Amino acid sequence: MSRPSLKELYLAHEAKVAQKWEAYFGVYERVLAPLRDAQINLLEIGVQNGGSLEIWAKYFASAKVILGCDINQRVAALVFDDPRIDVVAADANSEFAYQDIVSLCPRFDLIIDDGSHHSRDVVASLLRYFPMLAPGGLYIIEDLHTSYWDKYGGGVAAERSSVAFLKTLADLIHAEFWKDQDSAAARAFFPEGAPDYLRNGVLESVEIANSMAVLRRAARPAGLGKAVIAGKEALIAPSLLEVRERQAAGVIVTPQ
């Protein structure tokens, strides 16, 4: 018998209220499927009524820790039947919340930001909590449409919006190819240089969907690697055979 999908779990849920945009379910189902049976630790920033935590507990039946954090102090009164679920009632970007979260669970396989959605908070949360992500783990940001709204610190041309930050992260993935170039966008967010946990092969990918971003931490930090060349006939570009010969001789060939 097939297991219910995440959307089916939402539609059948009758306890604490939860809300996700319909378009999110397909993305979640695709990227979370490899983790579904794993003994993961999950952190969700912004839990409101707490229903999403209950649904995550159903979806990740083998999860060890399901931790929520919300700035609304009333979440401290939430009671959950599942002992794996806990909540920190504090601003996720405060040092108090961070220390409390670290004390409860120092490493996460999945972090979901469904918090204030203000660009400054989205950026601050990622810089604070991405280092806690385990190798191979996922950091997911919801409701990125707010990045285009002024009241959330955004706008299409806003230089420090959350989407502008994600575009900068895409550049950082390719930082090994910058050579002597500089990035004004990167300087806007990292005036003293980007931290190693967002470059040098640690940040593997940034995927953007409608109002949603999925960042993956590399299982093993690495760059582009070597060119893999197959075949023996190279009528159009015979230099590829020379590259293969140089690689066989131990010469490191860099992208041109």
For residues 133 and 136, what is the distance between their CA atoms, to the nearest angstrom? 8
CA neighbours closer than 13 Å in the CB half-sphere of residue 194: 28
Neighbours of 65 (CB within 10 A): 17
Catalytic residue from among 13, 117, 118, 145: 117
H helix runs in 88-230, sequence order: 95-104, 119-129, 162-173, 184-189
Q: 157, 169, 91, 104: which is closest to 130 by C-alpha? A: 169
H helix runs in the chain, sequence order: 6-12, 22-32, 51-59, 95-104, 119-129, 162-173, 184-189, 239-248
| 145 catalytic per annotation | no
> Which residues are identified as catalytic?
117
